Structure 1
Amino acid sequence: MLMDLLLRIALAGALGGLIGLERQLRAKEAGLRTHILVGIGSAMFMIVSKYGFDDIIMQAHIGLDPSRIAAQVVSGMGFLGAGTIIIQKQIVKGLTTAAGLWVTAAIGLVIGSGLYEIGIYGTLLALVVLETFRRISHWLIGRHHTLVFHLKPKSVPMVLIVLEKERVRTGQVSIVNRDVETGLCEMTIDVTLSRKIAPHQIYDSLLEIKGVHSVEMH
């Protein structure tokens, strides 16, 4: 029994590590170690939930709900997931990583309960969604980026015209008030680049605009 429980903890950590490795290769907020710890922790919580109160349950007139601890793990993951979500300049990032941590916790709970096949299947399915569907999305829709400009206010219309000529799909545009000393303002634009558009082409075209001092792509 003890070896089986130790195997569950180790396997939950290993499966969580596979998801964390994919996230770390993408330079995301939560990586390998975070996902391993989530997998190990949730498996241990599940083991405690199932087997940690056997001595108390054996006493008369005592009844416990073995699902209560597991349910609290699901709720508690909301706090950890929220920490990976970044809201910067009205742009939300980290939702996929937060969802990955949530799935990792579920995998840990499943493995901790002894359902090995379900946990392994869930891990493989999560990796397919994170990797394969990412490539399909980029192939069909394109890659989402954020362009950050430091430019003269009068150059803003020309930037939008150039992006339209380059057939770049634009999203939300935000402009920060002009700096008094430099006379420059900061403009942020959400764009989607199809696989036919090379990023360096966009850089060259935008930097040629008079009044554009710098362009950053995130």
Structure 2
Amino acid sequence: MVIDLLMRIALAGALGGLIGLERQLRAKEAGLRTHILVGIGSAMFMIVSKYGFTDVLPLEHIELDPSRIAAQVVSGMGFLGAGTIMIQRQVVRGLTTAAGLWVTAAIGLVIGSGLYEIGIYGTLLALIVLELFSRLSRYLIGQHHSLLFRLKPKSVPLVLLALQKERIRTGQVSVINRDDESGLCELSLEVTMSRRVIQSHLYEALMEIKGVHSLEMH
């Protein structure tokens, strides 16, 4: 029995590590170690929830709900997931990583309860969504980028027009931090570029616009 429980903890950590490895390779906020710890912790909570109170159950007037501790893992992951979500220049990032941590916790609970097949199957599906669907999305829709300009206010329409001519879809647009001394402001843009767009050529074309002083592409 003890060996089986130890194997559950190790397997939950290993499966969580696979998801964490994918996240770390993409330089995301929560990587390999975080996901391994979430998987191990969730499995241990599940084991405690199912088997940790067997010594008191024979006593009179003792009734326990084996799902209560496991249920708190779901709530607790909300706090950890929120720590990976950041707002940078009015753009929300880290939602996928937060969802990955949530799924890793679920995998740990499933493995901790002894449902090995379900846990392994869930891990495979999560990796397919994170890797295969990511590539498919970039191929069909394009890749998201953040553009940050320092430019003259009158150059903002010219930049938007240039992006429109290149058939680049724009999302969140914000103009912030106008400097009275230089007369420059910051233009933040979320764009979606198709595979045909050559970033170096786009950078040169945007920098040639009159009034554009600098451009950062992420």
TM-score, normalised by the number of residues in structure 1: 0.98
Cα pair 2:43 2:112 within 8 Å, conserved: yes
Separation in 2, partners of 1:109, 1:56: 23
Indicate the residue corresponding to 2:31 in structure 1.
Answer: 31
Separation in 2, partners of 1:177, 1:43: 48
Offset at residue 210 of structure 1 (A)? 1.5
Q: Structure 2 matches for 1:81-100, cutoff 5 A? A: 81-100=81-100
SS in 2 for 1:60: coil
Q: Structure 2 matches for 1:115-194, cutoff 5 A? A: 115-194=115-194
Stretch deviating more after TM superposition (93-102 or 53-62):
53-62
Specify the code of the residue in structure 1 equivalent to 2:69: I
Q: Structure 2 matches for 1:13-92, cutoff 5 A? A: 13-92=13-92
Separation in 2, partners of 1:208, 1:215: 11
1:2 correspondence with 2:2 = yes
Cα pair 2:77 2:101 within 8 Å, conserved: yes
Separation in 2, partners of 1:103, 1:73: 11
SS in 2 for 1:47: helix
Separation in 1, partners of 2:79, 2:31: 17
- Gaps of at least 5 residues in structure 2 are none
TM-score, normalised by the number of residues in structure 2: 0.98
SS in 2 for 1:56: coil
Separation in 2, partners of 1:94, 1:60: 49
Specify the code of the residue in structure 2 equivalent to 1:140: L
RMSD of aligned C-alpha atoms?
Answer: 0.8
- Gaps of at least 5 residues in structure 1 are none
Separation in 2, partners of 1:172, 1:107: 35
Offset at residue 184 of structure 1 (A)? 1.1
Indicate the residue corresponding to 2:195 in structure 1.
Answer: 195
Specify the code of the residue in structure 2 equivalent to 1:190: E
Q: How many residues align?
A: 218
